[in-house]
Each structure stands twice: as structure tokens, then as C-alpha cells.
Structure 1
Amino acid sequence: MKMASNGVCAGRGFWVVFLVLLRLGCSEGQRVPAAFVFGDSLVDVGNNNYLPVSFAKADFPHNGMDFPTKKPTGRFSNGKNTADFLAEKLGLPTSPPYLALISSSSKSNSSSSFLTGVSFASGGAGIFDGTDEKYQQSIPLTKQVEYYLAVHENLVQHMGSSGAKKHVAKSIFVVAIGSNDIFGYSGSSKLRKQHTPQQYVNLMASSLKDQLKRLHSYDARKFVFVGLPPIGCCPSQRNQNKTAACNEDTNSWSRMYNTALLTMLKGLQSELNNISYSCLDTYAVVQNFVQNPSAYGFAEVKAACCGLGNLNAKVACLPISQYCPNRQDHVFWDLYHPTEAAARMFIDKVFNGSTQYTYPMDVQQLAAVEV
């Protein structure tokens, strides 16, 4: 795929982009040149708004009620999400949705739009193709990587091969995906007959490895991996139990995948030997929120803030749904996703100084790695 350059690639326009890049590289507080984000609804900042038949959308109230604009943005949150807070810590603007940048109405689909990063994340997406069947349409990881290759081609056209390589190699690649694959396994008797849980998570890790090698071949060198949380404790899973307890099967599969992910990453680093990464123990952080909520300022860990029915988890966060008056004391915004408060606290825990929750280094250390 080739994207329109609006004439920036020639002559004087090239130097405009080059000077912009120099300014970006020297801006105060900016730790890396760019962040490229891959994942699902936990980090989607609006890509699904541009998928015409997708059911996995958040472009309506009450989503976004605490966002600075007070309007829904396509984030599955009452406000900012994990991608926003990570960008803030890195000294970057939030990476814009790729589909917004290349939409026919966009006037900014030149390389300058991509200099500080792009988000390819999509609600409903999984490591495997087809995890989006329930929601009709999302951008699976394989397609997200293809979109990145198009962005990389565009950067090369405008910055030259060497310039693009240096820019991208110093940037952060965020990967937050896998929950929908676990939900897919949980809800499919066919998959459970075909694969044991261990076989399935190993396939997840192996498939992810294939995509990481594609990214590496296009200059990606520094990765942040957001491990799976205890997804069995989200309101939609608790709602399936009469006691509102967590679903221990899905939690165990999440832990199993996180272990497989770490094993795969250690092997990949030995194989490629010029990549660096920070793997975030999302499971431990969120489990602490759930088991000791008052220590983190939370009061409600079972029910969603926005929804209807038992635990506000019978109906998703729709305009007809009720919402809690205090979003700060809820861990969950809707039946699947964290509140802005939980997302902020999560990034605070993993960005710097917390070896308890990161391996082999925290995100701040990763950003400082010389390439």
C-alpha cells in the first residue's frame, strides 16, 4: 500500500520534514522519537470508528465522558486509556489511529503524520485471525503489521532508508493483545477439543513471534509487551458465576499465556540478539487492584461502572446504560475494560522503578537503551 505524500517527498518539502524531525528528536521531555501501537480494545484510540460494520465500537456516550473533550473518541473508557498514559510518560502525543490518518477526508496522510508514531490497535483484535467474528469486523494483528509496513515504506520515501531506520529503531513498539484469543478459546468447544490450553497458548506465542520477526525485519528494535490481566475477573466473567467470583479457568489460561510469552521472548532475543524489550506483568498489577482495592484508592472491583443488569455486566456501556457517579473508585469502566483511573495507575506502576512488575527492565529503562 502506498500513501499520498502531498508532495512532501521532493525538494523543499523534504527539508521541512527533516527539520520537523530534528525538532521532535530534541524536544524537551521526549524519551523516544515515536511509539507504534499494536493491540486490541485496551489500547484502541479510534481505529474501529472507521470500520463501517464493526460492532466493537465505543464512539457513543457514555464513553469519553471524562476525556478532555467530554466526548466519545472510540476509546473503550470513560476517559484516557493505557496508550494515552504511556504516551504521556514517553513525552509523546498519543499515537493517532492509522485509519483516521489515511481516511479519504484526512488532509494529513503524509510522513509528517507518522513521525511521532501511529496506532494500529483495534477493538476485538487478536493474535489469530478470526477472533473478531463475534464483532463482525476488527483489524487482526497480521493486518496491523501490514499497515505498519506501509507506514515504514512511507517513512523511507521521505526520510531515506538510513534516516527511517534510525528513527524507527529508537522508537517504542507497544504490543497489547491476546485477551480476545483467550476469550475465543473459552467460548469455543471446537478449539478446546482441538488444543489443550497449553497447546493453544503456545500457538498464540508462536504466532506472535512470527509477527515480531516481520516487525524486526522492518527496523523495530524496542518492544513493550503488555501481558494479559486476570481476564476472568472482569465483570462479564464474574456475571457468569452465581457468586460473582472470578472465572479461574480463563485466569489460569491468561497466566499460562504470560509464561509462554516470556519463554518465547527470551528465545527471540537470543535468535535476533539486537532487540530489547520490557514485558509488563499486567496480571500481578490488576490482581493487586482486585485483592487489595483500598490500597490503590478503589472501592468497587466486581461491578462495571457503566452498563445494566447484574454487576452492570448484562448490557454493555450503551447510551441507555446507567453509569456510576464516581469513576475514580471503580477498577472497571464496562464489562471488559478498565476505568481511566485504573489505566493511569497501571502505567504508573510499570513505567519506572518497579522490577516487581516488569522484566527484564521497566519502560523508562527500555526507552533509554541505545540502538
Structure 2
Amino acid sequence: MASSSSFCHIFLTILVALGGAAVDQAQAQDAAGGRREMVPAMFIFGDSLIDNGNNNNLPSLAKANYYPYGIDFQGGPTGRFSNGYTMVDEIAELLGLPFIPAYSEASGEQMLHGINYASAAAGILDVTGRNFVGRIPFNQQIKNFENTLDQITNNLGAVDVAQALSRCIFFVGMGSNDYLNNYLMPNYPTRNQYNGQQYADLLVQEYSQQLTSLYNLGARKFVLAGLGLMGCIPSILAQSASGGCSEEVNQLVQPFNTNMKMMINNLSGNLPGSHFIFIDVRNMFQDILANYRSYGFNVINRGCCGIGRNRGQITCLPFQTPCPNRDQYVFWDAFHPTEAVNIIMGRKAFSGDQTVVYPMNIQQLANL
């Protein structure tokens, strides 16, 4: 992590870019590429869909820091669970930001535009993902962010830090593992304790408290990703007798998305100055699967890299040869979409209409 002096320099730079006497924010340019930066920084919280290396040095079974992960990424295998970009990589680029570094590796100038705290196998509930041993649950990700803030505030003071943070985007994508690596796992008692609606209520109650904690730490602009059609991922398809999507799993996670929309409305009304938007990943994925050929895809029911039925029973192994036509696959491995899908979803979240992002898109949120 960066030293306190580094943080001071970094956030002083951000504050200048926020529109102080010297610089108009609308004219702020990314020094490296000449791109207009729409926000000073993006802070990212989540699981393997957006993790970019925080599990690399953990005693964890949930890692992707080996080939062929990253086969199409300019930095090679970094810990991203994809052949290339994740959804937040595309969103950062559209916001005019560079790649956001992982918390575990960020230092100095790298941290100028934000930090990614996401961790594969992590969930809203601390117990989620224990089968993978090491992971960083959402509560700990928030503590890591708080640790970052403590160092900044010691140098700049609370008022200046609050001003900077109010312009930043806070992207949160949690909940998938609370189903895949908790509720649906036979060695967890959760399914015997709660029905689908009760579990969704439990998750969103905890989620609401966690997001309120981020608000209390200075977050104001929230982007929350809902759950996709999890019954259609190769891991679930591989367990299906028919080989088709599991409607049981798709229906199981639907109350979580419904509860999230209600939670966003409640938080927006109760937290002054806050703005919450919901990315409807389910609708995005439904559209991609229903119209896959129009998006350029040919394969929607198996992973590009993996072993077993639907290439979804064992995930992508080190140095395994993946499919050569990766841009034609919707799924990269048993659980994760390809870069091509991540880019589509990132663009829809950035500039789409209310059928996919509610009540506004990320571009509109950034311009508030």
C-alpha cells in the first residue's frame, strides 16, 4: 500500500481536478492518453466477476493469476477471471480512467484513480465462500477501504476528503457467491434455514447496512450490479439433466434483484446527497442469450475453457488450451463471461436506458 505522503499527494491532485480555483473539471484530461476524466476516481467492491488480483497472494483456491486467464489482456494473467477485460475495466475506460489497481498491489501514483477491493469467492455474508479458504468478504473490503481513508484523512482532513469522495463512483457487485457458494452448496445449512424469499431478505438487510457504512465513510455515487441468469452458467448447466438453464436457480435469485431495487429506493430517500443506480444484469444477459447471434456469438451453453459437461464441471486449469474463437463464446469458464460479454455489459451500464440500468445510467451519474 502507499505511504501517507503518497496518499496526500494523490488526493491533493484529485481535489485540484475536482474544480478548484485552478482547474475546471470539465476540462480535466487524463495525462497519459488525453482522455477526459468524467470522475476523479472509482472504488470497486465485489467478487470474482470484477476481482483483478486481490486473491493472488491469499491462501485461496479461488485464483486466476495463471495462463490462460488473461490470454487476451495486455498484462497477461493478472488475477482477472476472464480472458481479458472485466465489466469494470470497460466502465473505467468509458469514464476516461486507466485500469483501477487491486488493493493488494496498489501503491503511489497507481492509486490516483481509485482502488479495486473485490475478491473472488467473497459474499455479502462473511461465511460465504469458505470452501475456497482465503477470500475477502464485503465487510472486510469495506474495512480495507476505511484503512485507505484513515491514511488519507490524516494528511488532508475530513472536509477535503469528503469533497473528493462525493464525486467518485463506488461500484459494488455482490451476491452471486451467497447463492453459488453458500445457499446452493450441500455443506451449508442455509437452504434448510431459509426459503428463497427469506434468504433474499436476509442478504439485502445486511447489504443495506454495508452500503450505509460506505455512505458514512463518504461514498455518495453508488453503482450496484444485480445478479444475472445464474441458472444458465456452465456450472449449473452441467448439473442439469436436460442440459438447459435451471429455472429453479433463476427463480431463486430473482427475489434478491427485486429486493435490491426496493433497497435502492429506500437508501436514496434516507441518505441525503446519495445517488444509487441498479444495473439489471439479468435483463442484459437475457437479451444476450435470446439474441446471441446478433451480438456475434455462436456458443452460449458451454465455457471456452474448462473440463467436463458444458466445460463447466472443472474450471479452467493452468496452461489448459482454451477455445480459439473466444469472441464467439458467451462464457469464458464455468462461472464467468468472456471479455466480449463484459464489454457489452459495461457499455450498456454506461449509456443504456432504464431497461438495463435504473434510474439513470453511469454516464448520467458521473455528470451529476
TM-score (norm 2): 0.91
Which segment drifts farther, 213-222 or 345-354? 345-354
Alpha-carbon contact 1:307-1:322 (below 8 Å) kept: no
Matches within 5 A, 1:258-273: 258-273=257-272
Q: Establish whether residue 64 from structure 1 lines up as the match of residue 70 from structure 2.
A: yes
Question: Separation in 2 of the partners of 1:182 and 1:42?
Answer: 14
- Counterpart contact for 1:308–1:322, Cα < 8 Å: no
Residue from 76, 83, 88 that aligns with 1:78: 83
1:145 alignment partner in structure 2: 142
Matches of 1:317 and 1:150, distance apart in 2: 34
Matched, 1:22 2:20: no
Partner of 1:191: 190
Deviation of 1:15 after TM superposition, in Å, equals 6.5
Q: Separation in 1 of the partners of 2:69 and 2:3?
A: 34
Q: Distance in 2 between matches of 1:314 and 1:182?
A: 17
Question: 1:317/1:326 Cα in 2 relative to 1: closer, same or farther (>3 Å)?
Answer: same
- Gapped runs of 5+ residues in structure 1? 102-107
The answer to whether residue 97 in structure 2 is matched with residue 92 in structure 1 is: yes
- Structure 2: tracts of 5 or more residues without a match: 19-24, 30-34
- The 3-state SS of whatever aligns with 2:302 is coil
Q: Which moved more, 1:317-326 or 1:24-33?
A: 24-33
Counterpart residue type for residue 22 of structure 1: V
Q: Who is 1:105 aligned against?
A: none
* Matched residue, 1:54: 60
Asked if 1 retains the 8 angstrom alpha-carbon contact of 2:38 and 2:96, the reply is: yes
Letter in 2 for 1:247: S
Deviation of the 1:242 alpha carbon: 2.3
1:238 and 2:244 matched: no
Secondary structure in 2 aligned to 1:175? strand
Partners of 1:35 and 1:19 in 2: how far apart? 15
Q: Secondary structure at the match of 2:156?
A: helix
RMSD, aligned CA? 1.8
**Counterpart Cα distance in 2 of 1:190 and 1:17:** 45
Counterpart amino acid of residue 129 in structure 2: D
Aligned twin of 2:316: 317
1:115: Cα distance to partner? 3.2
Instruction: Tell me what 1:328 maps to.
Output: 327
% identical aligned pairs? 37
One-letter amino acid of the structure 1 residue matched with residue 46 of structure 2: G
Over residues 116-163 of structure 1, what are the superposed CA-to-partner deviations in whole Å (9 max), with x where a residue is unaligned?
A: 111100000000001121111100000000001111112212332222
User: For the residues of structure 2 that align with 1:18 and 1:237, how far apart are their CA atoms?
Assistant: 48
Taking the TM superposition and a 5 Å limit, the aligned residue runs for 1:123-134 are 123-134=120-131
Aligned mates of 2:177, 2:10 — CA distance in 1: 42
Structure 1 residues 315 and 197: alpha-carbon distance in aligned structure 2, compared to 1, 3 A threshold: same
Instruction: Work out whether 1:44 is the aligned partner of 2:41.
Output: no
Other-structure match for 1:176: 173
- Cα distance in 2 between the residues matched to 1:163 and 1:20: 10
| Contact 2:11–2:164 (Cα < 8 Å) also in 1 | no
Distance, in Å, in 1 between the alignment partners of 2:90 and 2:10 is 29
SS in 2 for 1:173: strand
One-letter amino acid of the counterpart of residue 63, structure 2: K
Check if 1:32 corresponds to 2:39: yes
CA contact 2:11–2:161 (8 Å) conserved in 1: no
Tell me which moved more, 311-320 or 192-201.
311-320
SS of structure 1 residue aligned to 2:104: helix
Which of 116, 119, 134 is 1:119 aligned to? 116
2:40 maps to a residue whose letter is P
Q: How does 1:220-239 map to 2 (within 5 A)?
A: 220-239=219-238
Query: Is the Cα–Cα contact under 8 Å of residues 262 and 279 in structure 1 kept in the other structure?
Result: yes
How many residue pairs end up in the alignment? Answer: 353
Tell me the CA shift for residue 323 of structure 1.
Answer: 1.3
Give 3-state SS (helix, strand or coil) of 2:56's partner: helix
Q: CA deviation at 1:187?
A: 1.9
Kindly state the Cα deviation for residue 222 of structure 1 after the two structures are TM-superposed: 0.4
Distance across 2 between alignment mates of 1:361 and 1:149: 28
Cα deviation, 1:281-325, whole Å, max 9, x if unaligned, reads 100101111122112111100010001222111221012534111
Q: CA deviation at 1:248?
A: 1.4
1:104 equivalent in structure 2? none
Aligned counterparts of 1:308 and 1:16: Cα–Cα separation in 2 = 45
Cα distance in 1, alignment partners of residues 17 and 356 from structure 2:
34
| DSSP 3-state at the match of 1:301 | strand
Tell me if structure 1 keeps the 8 A contact 2:17–2:40.
no
Deviation at 1:267, TM superposition (A): 1.1
